[in-house]
């Protein structure tokens, strides 16, 4: 008579999965807190409050995010990363670039308080963690814009488009315009530098 075989199961830890899960918890908590309070009070958000809302130990939150601003910057970057990168090859260069910039511009347009907190964080000086995230955001905007422009685009055109995007983001942060107005303004500027067709 044979004895039953008992399988030994080993559970592997996936640090990347755990990191994403923690980030999702923190981002969800931040969005809930921001959505429930007036804008001036958002600046008073602390790591302890964020950790309590996310139901995570404060030391864990601090291990993942160097500052509240770094967390908001990462939240924005995460939302941008989640956008699909689809380029219609039948469309002209202007339409392709417009589609990409509009998607990035409007990623938080329906959550104005959260968008304001993220924009304020991204434009913060003197925070090395924010600067690192800003570099990654710039790289993602570059990747999307380059994909939309296509092979053979002049580097100067790519640089101009990216400079326009960051300038428009600054105008939104200083309350000169809304995100929707920013998207429309970018379309107007793109019409000045890109042809209707390739």
Task: Read off the pLDDT of residues 5-20 as tens digits, 9 standing for 90 and up.
Answer: 656 655 556 678 888 9
pLDDT digit string (tens) for 109-120?
999 889 888 988
Q: What angle do CA 69, 71, 75 make, to 5 degrees?
A: 115
Considering the chain, what percentage of its residues have pLDDT values greater than 90? 58
Question: Which comes out higher in pLDDT, residue 197 or 79?
Answer: 79
pLDDT of res. 107: 93
Give the pTM: 0.83
Q: Where are the domains of the chain?
A: 15-64, 87-193
Query: pLDDT for 24-39, tens place per residue?
Result: 999 999 999 998 877 6
CA pair distance 93, 99, nearest whole angstrom:
10
Confidence category of residue 170, pLDDT binned at 50, 70, 90: confident
- The strand ranges marked E within 28-183 are none
> What whole-number distance in Å separates Cα of residue 68 and Cα of residue 81?
20
Q: d(Cα 163, Cα 170) in Å, to the nearest integer?
A: 11
pLDDT, residue 70, reads 95
For position 8, what pLDDT does the model report?
Answer: 65
Map 56-85 to HEC letters: CCHHHHHHHCCCHHHHHHHHHHHHHHHCCC
- Give residues with Cβ within 8 angstroms of 165, minimum separation 6: 101, 104, 105, 141, 145, 186
- pLDDT, residue 6, reads 58
CB 133 within 8 A of CB 80: no
* Whether pLDDT at 100 is above 60: yes
């Amino acid at each position: 008579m044979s004895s039953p075989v008992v399988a030994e199961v080993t559970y592997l830890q996936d640090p990347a999965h755990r990191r994403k899960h923690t980030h999702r918890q923190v981002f969800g908590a931040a969005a809930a807190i921001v959505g429930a309070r007036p804008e001036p009070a958002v600046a008073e958000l602390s790591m302890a409050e964020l950790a309590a809302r996310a139901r995570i130990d404060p030391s864990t939150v601090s291990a993942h995010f160097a500052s509240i601003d770094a967390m908001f910057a990462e939240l924005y970057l995460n939302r941008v990363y989640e956008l699909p990168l689809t380029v219609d090859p039948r469309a002209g260069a202007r339409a392709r670039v417009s589609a990409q910039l509009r998607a990035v511009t409007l990623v938080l347009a329906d959550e104005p308080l959260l968008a304001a907190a993220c924009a304020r964080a991204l434009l913060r000086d003197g925070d090395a963690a924010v600067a690192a995230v800003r570099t990654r955001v710039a790289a993602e905007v570059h990747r999307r814009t380059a994909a939309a422009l296509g092979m053979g685009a002049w580097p100067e055109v790519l640089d101009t488009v990216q400079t326009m995007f960051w300038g428009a983001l600054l105008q939104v942060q200083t309350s000169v315009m809304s995100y929707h107005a920013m998207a429309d303004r970018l379309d107007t500027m793109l019409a000045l530098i890109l042809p209707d067709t390739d």
